[in-house]
Amino acid sequence: MKNVYDSVELGAKRIGHGVALLKSEQEIKEFSKRKVLLEICPKSNVQTKAIKCLEDLDIELLKQYNVPYLINTDNRTVTGTTLIKEYRLLLENNLISMDEIKRINKEAIGYTFIDKSEIELLMKKIL
């Protein structure tokens, strides 16, 4: 976890592969304060054994502490997945809802790597 905190201290606003954070409620509270987005790649996290099973993602805990998060694919050619498949996997296992998928995607716009004017345009289009 030290590398994650070092990244945040250096100004990172998004953390990829930070599922180790989910093992500690204290770590989650800290992320909540800093409003750092956590990227979650469900299939990759299981394949790499970062988590034992999908339930270890504990999305409810992230929601409880208002930690921004987003579902991603990681390396699609290695994992053999797509974003649609990742969403379906979480939906079928009752780990997320369609409303939650919409919410996290809207919230994630603020964490994109585009300039503020483009963010504002994008927000206007979807809202």
Question: Which residues lie across from 39 on neighbouring strands?
Answer: 16, 70
Listed by start position, the domains of the chain span 2-126
Amino acid at 119: I
- pLDDT value, residue 120: 86
Neighbours of 25 (CB within 10 A): 13
Q: What is the pTM of this model?
A: 0.85
pLDDT tens string 12-62:
888 887 787 788 888 888 888 888 899 999 999 999 998 999 999 989 999
CATH topology of domain 2-126: TIM Barrel (3.20.20)
**CA gyration radius for the chain?**
14
pLDDT at 116 over 90: no
What are the φ and ψ backbone dihedral angles of 14, each rounded to 5 degrees?
A: -135, 140
